[in-house]
Chain A
Amino acid sequence: MKKTLTMTPVKRRSLLKAGGALIINFNFQTTTFGQEQRPLAGPPDPEQIDSWIAIHQDNTATVFIGFAELGQGCSTALLQVAAEELDLSMAQIGTIGLDTHITPNQGGTYSSSAMRVGGPQIQRAAAEARQVLLQMATEQLKVDFDSLQVENGIIYSNETKTRNTSYGELIGDRQFNLAFSGNAPLKNPADYKLVATPFPRKDFPLKAKGTYRYIQHLRLPNMLHGRIVRPRGQGAYKNGVQVVDINEASIASIPGARVIRRSNFVGVVAEKEWDAVKAAQQLEIIWDQPDSLPGNENLFTQMEKGLTNERVAVEQGDVSAFNEAFVKSEFKAYGPYQAHVPFAPNCALADVKQNSALVMCSSQDIYNTRTSIANLLGMETEKVRVQFHDGAGTFGHSCWDDVAQAAALMSSMVGQPVRVQYMRWDEHGWDTYGPAHIGKTRISADRNGKLVSYEYEGWQHHWSLIETSEQTAKGTPAAEWPPFPAQQINPRTLGGMYDIPNRYLLNHHVPGLDYLKGAWLRSPVDLSFSFVSEQAIDDLAFQLGIDPWQFRQQNISEFHWLGVLNAAAKAANWQPRPAAENVSNAAIVRGRGIGVGTHLASYGGAVAEIEVNKRTGDVRILHLCGAIDAGLVVNTSNVENQIVGQLVQTASRMLLEEVTFNKTNVTSLDWASYPILRFEQCPEITPVIVQRLNEAPSGAGEEVMAAAAAAIANAFFDATGKRMTMYPFTPERVLQTLAV
């Protein structure tokens, strides 16, 4: 069976030549469509049809999408939207990779924006194109506009069935040169054929075969391999890192390897990748990293005791009603720093020339990255071209901008294209982590089980604005993003689903420069919010002897919230009883819990069933049911996968994930020191979609995590009668809680 061919000697260059198609510089994989290259740097005018859609002579179409495929499937779902409106089949429609010279600026791909923002924009563009094409068909076929029908891009008239034309015939590979009319009708949801179906992902067959090209696979001609060199694990953001001494001779034994340095930015390059890896590890370098971090032990004390900037996020009624209320709950709890840590560390390629730069990276926001690279290189923005190529799922702002900057810097210094691949410890140690949080709440209800008052105070720092590559290379001081709702306490998750007459939410912004770098991590800070808030809600139900599902039902009137709450309870076959009714002396006990929450839009509800080993402190999550109402769900299979992923990740974050650091630096640098959930720990997962055909898409990438975190915490109470005040639920923490 097995054949043996001898190919000796095989040289790298000849392989490169033989496999010429492997040398990539542009959109090789996403399509056979859309070879258009627009001459000018983008973004193209969003009010022009040509900025969004090109029709080809073979009656296919290319849609220019401004959102990044991050593994969530939007590159398929947004084509469903366009194909639906244009009456094309999915085989006739394709897209190209994001590129600042070509694709429109739809903003960044975050806050579940791809379908929420992108869906309606692309639907509108497709409807405009369809209307123009039908007008052209009216003239060509000499028939009444209203008699026209379209099937797979073929335009027929009811009047003369024998005569027809097609999109390709009418405009194939020519431009529309038309602005939006603003009056193109949208298809009636009742007529949807593609939207709201589980259409199979277009990228998947390639991914299963192993022929899909991730950013990590890309190569440029005459390219060098680069690695960054930094201390293992970041220190306080404000300090960056300082080089005290470098011994460049320490890598002299590695052929072709050399040190690239600008101020405190240090990297190595080599022709062979393994040589670059070795050089980065072998380079002798002395760093100055001050011991100015609080360390895990003193983190929360320092956050709470230090100076903070206060902002009232919500104030309604009078929360002093708490004092006279029938039942009261006061609860304070803590959430750790957690890391993005994409399965593949970030990677970028850059080719910086005297007067232009090409940067290929996995940025969630290529236009923003372009600005930062242009600033770093001192080049005009229009001369920098940034392309998006997907890597592994990123779940927010991991090191993609940092590595893009590193590649651009190195390329500019060596005058050759450079590919920079972060090592595992770079990604784990230099992430912009999801910030730690302290939450304190006081809530109350009356004797009928109606909520009376809700107070919440939250402490956390903002997101980091300056990447470490820029900070070290240019000396740009560390800085936080200006205040922004998503990085502060979230009124929707913090009691926003309940009918509460008196409510007060206070945000304590902890100035972040003394801490670790921070950024948005999927459902930013929401797990910490709901961990506090929904445990307190549960406690009121417990004190009143009311089933926690029923207690929530009687305090929620908004139908979307009720819908997800009830959908999750139904999926879990929830039988009403008060919490902690079955607490026993057994060594291994089980419990179930319920919770609701979201991020900025959409609605999430979840039920958890867990098992606690009171001897060892081990917690197993047995089953998670999660329901999302995200308005119109365009691709039901994608959203089901999103719910599964959110629930598994929430289990991981609640049981295992915590960034550890001492006074000097982060110490969780790989999958051993920062474990995530594994197959054997994975619960049974039941995803539930609450479909709303007549509503706009509102986003489904992160909206059930807060609910699931709360459900897990409440299940712990149901099992043990004790409340956890910090996650993750490590055995040590569990045993401490049980001992109280």
Chain B
Amino acid sequence: MTSLTINGVSIDVEADSDTPLLYVLTDELLLQGPRFGCGLAQCGSCSVLVDGIETRACVTPIATLKDKSITTLEGITAYYAAKSGLASIPQSTPVQDALVAEQALQCGYCYNGMIIKATELLLNNPDPSDAEIRSAMNGHLCRCGTYPKIISAIKKASLMIRVAQQGEDDTITEGLA
């Protein structure tokens, strides 16, 4: 039995210790955020945050995750609120809001990884350049080719975060129009 902390909840899992985290999340806990894409850590479909670092659940045995804090898409709003010092947990994060606002969507299957990775990026660097966004996101694939819209959405989310943090700054809010 392995004890895991997932989205702030401590859970004992009766799976073999070599089981990749992904199969515990999808098969045992029936979570929908992390999802199978390649099983080879090549695509980012299964990404979760482990102690705040984007990690490929499909190749991470649960034995390596003791005493670590795992955040899935289901827990991303609470995680974002805690890291950003928000008073309450929002319905959705700026990254999720910006993706919807930009209609940056085709099939949407890659969005688990995109949201996890973009959240990690913006918490570390709230004002990334175009090159920094591309570099951070480069390990996440999208077969539909939605990259340009995702980049726009991450820029929009960055603005939303900075506006929220810095209050009424005209030079920043102009970009949100």
Binding site for B on A (CB under 8 A): 1-12, 15-16, 19, 22, 70-73, 198, 200-201, 203-205, 207-214, 216-217, 219, 225, 272-274, 277, 341-345, 390-393, 395, 421, 423-424, 637, 641-642, 644-649, 652, 670-672, 676-680, 682, 684-685
Closest 4 CB pairs between A and B? A648-B145, A71-B107, A207-B108, A393-B107
B147 adjacent to A11 (CB under 8 Å) = no
Contact of A7 among B10, B14, B23, B26 (CB under 8 A): B10
B149 adjacent to A641 (CB under 8 Å) = yes
Note all chain A residues with C-beta closer than 8 A to B164: none
B102-125 Cβ-contact flags toward A at 8 Å (1 or 0): 010111111110010000000000
A4 adjacent to B12 (CB under 8 Å) = no
Asked if A343 meets B142 with Cβ closer than 8 Å, knowing A637-B103, A671-B43, the reply is yes
A210 adjacent to B30 (CB under 8 Å) = no
Q: What is the CB-to-nearest-CB distance from B117 to chain A, in angstroms, rounded to a whole number?
A: 10
Asked if A274 meets B27 with Cβ closer than 8 Å, knowing A2-B82, A209-B96, A210-B32, the reply is yes
Contact of B143 among A16, A274, A342 (CB under 8 A): A342
Please report the C-alpha to C-alpha distance between residue A337 and residue B66 in the assembled complex, in whole angstroms.
Answer: 45
Please report the C-alpha to C-alpha distance between residue A204 and residue B134 in the assembled complex, in whole angstroms.
Answer: 23
Please report the C-alpha to C-alpha distance between residue A7 and residue B42 in the assembled complex, in whole angstroms.
Answer: 33
B29 located at the interface, meaning its Cβ lies under 8 Å from any Cβ of chain A in the complex: yes
Task: Count A-B pairs with CB separation below 8 Å.
Answer: 209
A679 adjacent to B147 (CB under 8 Å) = yes
Asked if A277 meets B82 with Cβ closer than 8 Å, knowing A16-B30, A210-B73, the reply is no
B15 adjacent to A392 (CB under 8 Å) = no
B1 adjacent to A343 (CB under 8 Å) = no
Binding site for A on B (CB under 8 A): 1, 5, 8-16, 19-20, 23, 26-30, 32-33, 35-40, 42-43, 45, 69, 73-74, 81-82, 92, 96, 99-100, 103, 105-112, 115, 133-135, 137-151
B38 adjacent to A424 (CB under 8 Å) = yes
Contact of B145 among A73, A201, A423, A647 (CB under 8 A): A647
Please report the C-alpha to C-alpha distance between residue A334 and residue B2 in the assembled complex, in whole angstroms.
Answer: 55
A343 adjacent to B42 (CB under 8 Å) = no
Note all chain B residues with C-beta closer than 8 A to A70: 107
Known: A391-B107, A676-B141. 13 other contacts (CB 8 A): A4-B5, A11-B14, A198-B103, A207-B111, A208-B96, A219-B30, A343-B37, A390-B107, A392-B109, A641-B146, A646-B145, A672-B40, A680-B138
Note all chain B residues with C-beta closer than 8 A to A212: 32, 108
Is chain A's interface secondary structure helix, strand, loop, or mixed overall? loop
Cβ-closest chain B residue relative to A272: B27
Asked if A393 meets B43 with Cβ closer than 8 Å, knowing A207-B111, A343-B143, A647-B145, the reply is no
Note all chain B residues with C-beta closer than 8 A to A213: 32
Please report the C-alpha to C-alpha distance between residue A409 and residue B67 in the assembled complex, in whole angstroms.
Answer: 43
18 residue pairs of the A-B complex, CB under 8 angstroms, read: A3-B8, A4-B10, A6-B10, A10-B28, A19-B30, A71-B106, A201-B105, A204-B108, A208-B96, A208-B99, A209-B73, A212-B32, A272-B15, A343-B142, A345-B37, A641-B105, A642-B106, A684-B148
B30 adjacent to A22 (CB under 8 Å) = yes
Cβ-closest chain A residue relative to B8: A2
Note all chain A residues with C-beta closer than 8 A to B15: 272, 274
B103 adjacent to A200 (CB under 8 Å) = yes
Please report the C-alpha to C-alpha distance between residue A587 and residue B140 in the assembled complex, in whole angstroms.
Answer: 31
Q: What is the CB-to-nearest-CB distance from A242 to chain B, in angstroms, rounded to a whole number?
A: 27
Asked if A15 meets B28 with Cβ closer than 8 Å, knowing A2-B8, A344-B36, A641-B149, the reply is yes
Contact of A273 among B26, B33, B105 (CB under 8 A): B26
Please report the C-alpha to C-alpha distance between residue A340 and residue B38 in the assembled complex, in whole angstroms.
Answer: 14
Note all chain B residues with C-beta closer than 8 A to A205: 100
A217 adjacent to B32 (CB under 8 Å) = yes
A644 adjacent to B149 (CB under 8 Å) = yes
Contact of B109 among A9, A343, A648, A649 (CB under 8 A): A343
Cβ-closest chain B residue relative to A1: B82
A273 adjacent to B73 (CB under 8 Å) = no
Cβ-closest chain B residue relative to A650: B145
A204 adjacent to B100 (CB under 8 Å) = yes
Note all chain B residues with C-beta closer than 8 A to A204: 99-100, 103, 105, 108
B35 adjacent to A216 (CB under 8 Å) = yes
Please report the C-alpha to C-alpha distance between residue A672 and residue B39 in the assembled complex, in whole angstroms.
Answer: 13
B148 adjacent to A644 (CB under 8 Å) = yes
Please report the C-alpha to C-alpha distance between residue A682 and residue B152 in the assembled complex, in whole angstroms.
Answer: 13
Contact of B27 among A5, A200, A273, A648 (CB under 8 A): A273
B12 adjacent to A391 (CB under 8 Å) = no
Contact of A648 among B81, B110, B148 (CB under 8 A): B148
Contact of A424 among B19, B40, B74 (CB under 8 A): B40
B37 adjacent to A344 (CB under 8 Å) = yes
Note all chain A residues with C-beta closer than 8 A to B38: 345, 424, 670-671
Please report the C-alpha to C-alpha distance between residue A1 and residue B18 in the assembled complex, in whole angstroms.
Answer: 31
Please report the C-alpha to C-alpha distance between residue A421 and residue B35 in the assembled complex, in whole angstroms.
Answer: 12
Please report the C-alpha to C-alpha distance between residue A304 and residue B121 in the assembled complex, in whole angstroms.
Answer: 51
Note all chain A residues with C-beta closer than 8 A to B45: 343-344
Cβ-closest chain A residue relative to B140: A679
Q: What is the CB-to-nearest-CB distance from B141 to chain A, in angstroms, rounded to a whole number?
A: 6
Cβ-closest chain A residue relative to B147: A682
Please report the C-alpha to C-alpha distance between residue A644 and residue B147 in the assembled complex, in whole angstroms.
Answer: 9
Q: What is the CB-to-nearest-CB distance from B63 to chain A, in angstroms, rounded to a whole number?
A: 13
Note all chain B residues with C-beta closer than 8 A to A390: 107
Contact of B107 among A7, A343, A345 (CB under 8 A): A343
Cβ-closest chain B residue relative to A647: B145
Please report the C-alpha to C-alpha distance between residue A11 and residue B15 in the assembled complex, in whole angstroms.
Answer: 10
Note all chain A residues with C-beta closer than 8 A to B36: 216, 344-345, 421
From B9, B10, B135, B144, residue with most partner A Cβ within 10 Å: B144
Q: What is the CB-to-nearest-CB distance from A724 to chain B, in angstroms, rounded to a whole number?
A: 22
Note all chain A residues with C-beta closer than 8 A to B19: 274
Cβ-closest chain B residue relative to A217: B32
A682 adjacent to B27 (CB under 8 Å) = no
Contact of B42 among A22, A393, A671 (CB under 8 A): A671
Contact of B23 among A200, A277, A345, A672 (CB under 8 A): A277
Please report the C-alpha to C-alpha distance between residue A207 and residue B150 in the assembled complex, in whole angstroms.
Answer: 14
From A225, A343, A423, residue with most partner B Cβ within 10 Å: A343
Please report the C-alpha to C-alpha distance between residue A1 and residue B71 in the assembled complex, in whole angstroms.
Answer: 14
Note all chain A residues with C-beta closer than 8 A to B42: 424, 670-672
Please report the C-alpha to C-alpha distance between residue A423 and residue B91 in the assembled complex, in whole angstroms.
Answer: 34
Cβ-closest chain A residue relative to B16: A274
Q: What is the CB-to-nearest-CB distance from B34 to chain A, in angstroms, rounded to a whole number?
A: 9
Contact of A208 among B12, B23, B92, B134 (CB under 8 A): B92
Please report the C-alpha to C-alpha distance between residue A14 and residue B126 in the assembled complex, in whole angstroms.
Answer: 41
Note all chain A residues with C-beta closer than 8 A to B150: 679
Please report the C-alpha to C-alpha distance between residue A392 and residue B10 in the assembled complex, in whole angstroms.
Answer: 32
A273 adjacent to B115 (CB under 8 Å) = no
Note all chain B residues with C-beta closer than 8 A to A647: 145
Contact of A207 among B28, B82, B105, B148 (CB under 8 A): B105
Note all chain A residues with C-beta closer than 8 A to B14: 9, 11-12
